[in-house]
Amino acid sequence: MKKWFFRYYDSFSFIGLVFAILFFSASVTPSLLPRNFLFQGLLSGLALAAGYGVGVGFLKLYQFLELPKPSAALERTSKIVTSVVVAVVFVFYLKQMTFWQNSIRELMEMPPLESAHPYATAIIALLSACCLIGVVRLLGWMCGCVSGQLNRFLPRRVATTLGVTFIGLLAIFVANGVIARGLMSAADSFFSKADALIDEGVAQPEIAIASGSPDSSIEWDSIGRRGKNFIVEGPQESDLTRFWGRECQQPVRVYVGLRSRSTLEERAKLALKELIRVDGFKRSTLIVATPTGTGWLDPAAVDSIEYLLGGDTAIVSMQYSYLPSWLTIIVDPTRSIVASQVLFDEIYDYWITLPRDDRPKLYLFGLSLGAFGSEVSADLYKIFDNPIQGAVWSGPPFPSTQWQELTRERNGDSPAWLPRFRNSSMVRFTSQKNTLESGEPWGGMRNVYVQHASDPMVFFSPDLAFQKPAWLDGQRGPDVSPHLKWYPVITFLQIAFDLPMATSVPNGYGHNYSPSSYIDAWIAVTNSEDIPAESVERLKKKLFIPPF
């Protein structure tokens, strides 16, 4: 066993191991979000394997170019010096792990860690890296076997090319057709069952204007878990009346579940039918809201606008998926776009038939994948003659085309994490601190993006693998660690690993957006600046969600 271990160890490339340790060291530096040692270990294991591959690749390239080999003495000395330097770097970065993790946690109002468990991280990383490298070596061995058989009757280079191609295609087929499909099937089954659950305390509403009630056109059992929560858990007329000290209205909430009808078009028509039934078009404000991938509508966003306007609102939404947003983006991001357009067109086409002076103001809302679909649902050419009044979009995910264009074409003196676009008359950006009062007048349509500099859903990009992001240039966001540095490949892996943990931080950071930010955004978009400042602060305190 001991001989096998040393023989296996000797089979590793020294250059590959040097790059592996350097990649590991970089991987434990701060990212956008804090993470536990298990997740950090898996990330660092992937970094180890990637670094080893890069090192071996450089070595193969050097050998392919037939460059002169160093002398035995120089090679021996270089290995000793390199080993010492790499060991010092490795130990230093391990010891800094706790400090770096706490540099993020402090900014996000999270309790500091006594230890980030660096040695447990290293062990997990080593084991996961060995598994990954073992899989790659197995594929290489299979390529050699196939090429060797083909070389019996084909030239060596032709046989090698065919062998590598065959095994490569086989690996892709297995990864995509078996592993990926199996994982997606398991995820689909899990989240489908979760969508059918009913949270404790959520029962079919009896009030006539509620979706899913006995008077409703929408069957209660066809509405998913998140939709049921949306319908039942919002502020009631009595809550609003008590807060404002005057008579308020019961807010209208219309929600069509994924199982309510078989097609998008049928679900959109059902949403319109229900909205008409409950007199949603007789409210002063109508919001077409696109949910996240799970069908969730953030209470911080919908509750805040209902409080601000005393319940004189109608919110209509339609489920298109039950997978988390980060997973839906990978599987089929167009679901949100198509669903948003279908629902908006159905509502808008009816809205424009109403007298201009006797119809509600029309707005859009979307969080995360909802923002991704919602921001392009209202085609400017279609709404040119009858424009909507504006939109609030929060946490727009990185593929969002309109958000990308606005960020790219931002004014040169504004940072990428908080852009200013032209004269700010049509669209503005805000974060934890309200930056919507620019001093410039608004135009006829008011659009607001709410985003956090620490939100990986917003700032992830494939370009991170080889290009330093603009959001790390100059002054960085207030919730981004000052010790976060860009490293090729590594930063890409770090932010990618942040995606599934984007909501594992307190409200006001990462992909969790606070009621305070939504209140500021809705006031700006709905032109409600006349609400007394003390009432606004009172509402912010009422809806405040304390950090965990």
Q: Helix/strand/coil (H, E, C) string of 294-315?
A: CCCCCHHHHHHHHHHCCCCEEE
Domain 196-455+505-543 belongs in CATH node 3.40.50: yes
Report the predicted TM-score, pTM, of the whole model to 2 decimal places. 0.91
Burial class (CB in 10 A: 0-12, 13-18, 19+), 402: middle
Tell me the CB-side half-sphere exposure of residue 358, using CA atoms within 13 A.
4
How far is 293 from 335, CA to CA, in rounded Å? Answer: 9
Supply the pLDDT for residue 136: 83
Residue 338 φ/ψ, nearest 5 degrees: -65, -45
Domain range list for the chain: 2-150, 196-455+505-543
8 A C-beta contact, residue 363 and residue 287: yes
Q: What is the pLDDT of residues 37-46, one digit of tens each?
A: 999 999 999 9
Please determine, for residue 277, whether its predicted confidence score (pLDDT) is greater than 70.
yes
Question: Helix crossing, 225-232 with 181-195: angle to 10°?
Answer: 30
Query: 365 is written with which tokens?
Result: 């809302």
Q: Give the DSSP H/E element, type plus range, for residue 275.
A: helix 264-277
For the beta carbon of residue 520, count every other beta carbon within 10 angstroms: 23
Supply the pLDDT for residue 138: 84
Burial class (CB in 10 A: 0-12, 13-18, 19+), 383: middle
Supply the pLDDT for residue 442: 95
How far is 310 from 72, CA to CA, in rounded Å? Answer: 82
By mean pLDDT, which of 112-126, 190-204, 337-351, 494-508 is the weakest?
A: 190-204
Supply the pLDDT for residue 179: 54
Residue of 374, 367, 366, 423 whose CA lies nearest to 402: 374
| All residues at 6 or more sequence positions from 287 whose CB lies less than 8 Å from its CB, including other chains | 302, 305, 313, 314, 315, 316, 362, 363, 364, 365
Query: 35 is written with which tokens?
Result: 């993470």
